[in-house]
Amino acid sequence: MLKKRMGEMVLLFSMLLTLACRPALAQEAIGTVALATPATTADPARAPASWGSPEGRLFFPHNWVRGYVDFSFAPPHNEPDLGRCSPSSTIIVSAGGPNSPCNAYARYLWSGYLEVRPFGKTFARHAFVFFTPTFSFGNNVPQFKYTYSMAAIAYERSVGLGIELPKNFEFRVTQHQVDWLGRYKHNVGGPAGLDLGTAGPYGLYTTIGARWYFGGYGRSQEGR
């Protein structure tokens, strides 16, 4: 009788041990299958170009026109001098002081930058045309008259061609010019030496130059 009970207890213990080990064996089997099965790889992200704008369609790709618009205000006693009127106090007083007809000192500057990149493929995608206009407005005579007039004074602009190069460099050819607006298209009168008759800020010129972007500025913001 004792032997029978001992046999039953051994059989019961064996069954319990088998049931206890079964989950561990299942987990081990699942781990083995997981190791044997190669992980599903996600679609690799498209690697950005080493330099230049991201490629798009051949003509007029995404963001083929880009730029910004800026409007600035110059507080009194800080007016931009456009170089048209004589700074001589003697000449200004003889011209009437606050009534001087030459008052090309700006209160407002409206400017911007426009860049056109019509191509999205081939090497032409690195070429672009740019345009930088600046309009000046005001009617002020330093030390004599300060107003908030929006009278037009001058239209300054730079236009040119550029080509992107590796390592965040650009090659640019720029032509700069100024056109006087309103009554400044002609001599404004007054005593001799009041109206200097200049060609505007920096006048007319053409430059050939290189530009380098660094510190995350410029082309690097496009993911290069």
Q: What is the secondary structure of the chain as a DSSP string?
A: -HHHHHHHHHHHHHHHHHHHHHHHHHHHHHHHHHHHSPPPPPPPPPPPPSSSSPP--SBS-TT-EEEEEEEEEPPTT---B-S-B---HHHHHHTTGGG-S---B-SEEEEEEEEE--B-SSGGGGEEEEEEEEEEE---BTTTB------EEEEEEEEEEEEEETTTEEEEEEEEEEEE-GGGGS---SSTTSB----STT-SEEEEEEEE--TT-GGGGG--
pLDDT (mean) for 60-78: 93
106-136 per-position pLDDT tens digit:
999 999 999 999 988 888 899 999 999 999 9
What would the two tokens of residue 213 be?
Answer: 């972007």
More confident residue, 47 or 149: 149
Tell me which of 161 and 32 has the higher pLDDT. Answer: 161
Rounded-to-integer distance, Cα 18 and Cα 13, Å: 9
| pTM attached to this predicted model | 0.72
For 129, other C-beta atoms within 10 Å of its C-beta total 13
pLDDT score of 68 = 97
* Tokens coding 202: 């920096």
Per-residue pLDDT at 61: 83
Structure tokens at 67: 């730029």
pLDDT of res. 46 = 53
All structural domains of the chain with their residue ranges = 1-36, 65-222
User: Does residue 50 register a pLDDT over 80?
Assistant: no
**Token pair in block for residue 78:** 């800080």
Q: What pLDDT is recorded for position 18?
A: 52
Of 22 and 211, the structure prediction assigns the larger pLDDT to: 211
